[in-house]
Amino acid sequence: GAVVSQHPSRVICKSGTSVKIECRSLDFQATTMFWYRQFPKQSLMLMATSNEGSKATYEQGVEKDKFLINHASLTLSTLTVTSAHPEDSSFYICSARDSRQGLNTEAFFGQGTRLTVV
Amino acid sequence: GESVGLHLPTLSVQEGDNSIINCAYSNSASDYFIWYKQESGKGPQFIIDIRSNMDKRQGQRVTVLLNKTVKHLSLQIAATQPGDSAVYFCAENRHDYKLSFGAGTTVTVRA
């Protein structure tokens, strides 16, 4: 099956610093990738949609300047949490669909990144 | 707003028994649904999907049922095993092709 690789799996950073999370589709191309945030014992909340070669679209309530998204190639999207604060601590997950299969198909998920801001 | 939700937050099942996990959705226009399994500290893993032109779909030990009349989705796991312990989410493909997740059901398998 298709593989989505997310890196790093865990990161601890100091308050005020920025952290970059990478999401790669290893064996397929993805013109669109999705970034989710998940708090403990809660569901996945869609943060933004990453579009290759264009600006990301953000869900209502998500700060664009706080969560910078770059989708520079068909296999890589990055999420940068800028000026991180303890309340940004969470589990961040990316997903992608195979561009050749269309948009009404399963999405493959990365293994997630546990961010802890101290 | 339109969303996908789950009826029960937890389910405890004896090893070897069958499990049934339920999900209610509110968008009658949705035409594609997916069940995911998420183990602790990991990303969601695809289990099975179903399109709205079907009522039932079977996989290995899993069956998904779709009742469009009452907007209900269920996942049946046959002969539940300890490795099935996880959180299960149903997801609905929104009109803009973004996935909307339900609240999740935590399944615990008793030995």
Q: What would the pLDDT profile of A18-69 be if each residue is shown by its tens digit?
A: 999 999 999 999 989 999 999 988 999 999 999 888 899 999 999 999 999 9
Q: Among candidates B17, B36, B9, which has minimal Cα distance to B81? A: B17
Query: CB under 8 Å to B5, separation ≥6 — which residues?
Result: B23, B24, B25, B26, B102, B103
Q: Over 50: is that where the pLDDT of B1 sits?
A: no
Please give the distance of CA A14 from its chain centroid, rounded to a whole number: 20
- Mapping DSSP to helix (H, G, I), strand (E, B) and coil, where does residue A86 land? helix
Q: Chain A residues with CB inside 8 Å of B102's CB?
A: 43
* B43 with A112: Cβ contact below 8 A: yes
Q: How far is A1 from chain B (nearest CA, A)?
A: 10
Nearest CB among B49, B89, B98 relative to A49 is that of: B98
Q: Chain A residues with CB inside 8 Å of B104's CB?
A: 42-43
Q: Chain B residues with CB inside 8 Å of A91's CB?
A: 41
Q: Which two tokens stand for residue A2?
A: 């298709």
Residue-wise pLDDT for B13-47, tens only, equals 999 999 999 999 888 888 999 999 999 999 999 99
